[in-house]
Structure 1
């Protein structure tokens, strides 16, 4: 059973999302919160598997709550998926860097929402298909030139760098395995080792690092 916390300042939005989730046998909404502070408190008390977190809330917003959750070692198993009204919200890239697993636009289809929750629980969520990589590409382009080289990248093997580029391109473990002629288990192992070496919580942070440090060139078709 995947335990979910809903955090949004609009009661009707929470009710709509809850009605979708409550119809699924493997999903359980354990609590709701109307702001980031309440969401953080609920996470510490209930330890949900996934938090669906609105970015813009009064008081403590979703970005600050996501950052505090990601920095709390006791909440390391909690995955945060940000909800945004706008698919090019300026805050979304910051949310990924703050430790969010990914994000969805609020008008996403119910099937996409359910899929996102399930893959987030596995740590594999990234971004809504309606947004794809254009947001990460844009904001990584702005920030990449200001970052100092990261020595953690030196620990990656040549194969791990190949895998990291494919993760940044949005490939699943199965697609990575097919591209590099590996077994799916070997591809998954490579991804896990990359995350461990980089200190990344999930695939989303691996993608952000790949763009920030120039391993993937924004806008190139084969990326």
Structure 2
């Protein structure tokens, strides 16, 4: 069985760099460069017309930043399956984090060996996220730290007691609260988790890692 072809769009304003990328990618039998451009505006148009699987996107373009191009592509429902790898000379946390927020699936420094580029294209096509190894742990920590809490500390206690099978009255006794207060907290939990039963609330809270 022939491998599925991965369609790639190259967005890079330096022609020599673009040519180098094309040559590297053309050596892979399952890679096909379907388009090239050096501007953000044309990149967005080409993405919509060519429907690439992967976009190699320079972080700095003459008319706009790579982040803006990425955000525009990811906001288009028709391009939901397109993965973007940001290419940059910088690998500091701020630039990588901004790329992740914009919707990039990967971030690669231009000085990386060709093997890393090829591997990154395959990984993002398979649904993986490719980031500089030394920054991955810090980025995950930063995302979790900045993520708003879905349930309040008290609601988290309540859902844990619900998971244990306790009644409203029993939960109120544990929390030194009233049954009516617990009832209101449970209603709030149901609304936040978008469920309508205690069992569904426990199931959803478990999925979200709240209990």
TM-score of the two chains, using structure 2 as the length reference:
0.66
Is 1:133 aligned to residue 136 of structure 2?
yes
Equivalent residue in structure 1 for 2:95, among 88, 91, 95: 91
1:188-203 to 2 correspondences below 5 Å = none
Q: Calculate the aligned-residue CA RMSD, in Å.
A: 2.5
Question: Secondary structure of 1:57's match?
Answer: coil
Aligned match of 2:145: 144
Aligned match of 1:76: 80
Matched residues in 1 for 2:86 and 2:136: separation? Answer: 16
CA-to-aligned-CA distance 1:131-173 (integer Å, 9 cap, x gap): 44266268x27x935x532468983536x749xxxxxxxxxxx
Matched residues in 2 for 1:135 and 1:15: separation? Answer: 34
CA-to-aligned-CA distance 1:43-74 (integer Å, 9 cap, x gap): 00000000010111121221001011111111
Decide whether the 8 Å contact of 1:6 with 1:29 is kept in 2: yes
Give the total of aligned pairs: 157
Aligned match of 1:157: 206
Matched residues in 2 for 1:156 and 1:22: separation? Answer: 47
The change in CA–CA distance for 1:135 and 1:64 in structure 2 (over 3 A counts) is farther
Is 1:59 aligned to residue 63 of structure 2?
yes
TM-score of the two chains, using structure 1 as the length reference:
0.63
Matched residues in 2 for 1:4 and 1:87: separation? Answer: 23
Where does structure 1 differ by over 4 angstroms across 4 or more consecutive aligned residues? 151-154
Matched residues in 1 for 2:19 and 2:138: separation? Answer: 28
Q: Which has the higher contact order (CA 8 A, sep 6+)?
A: 1
Indicate the structure (1 or 2) with the bigger Cα radius of gyration. 2
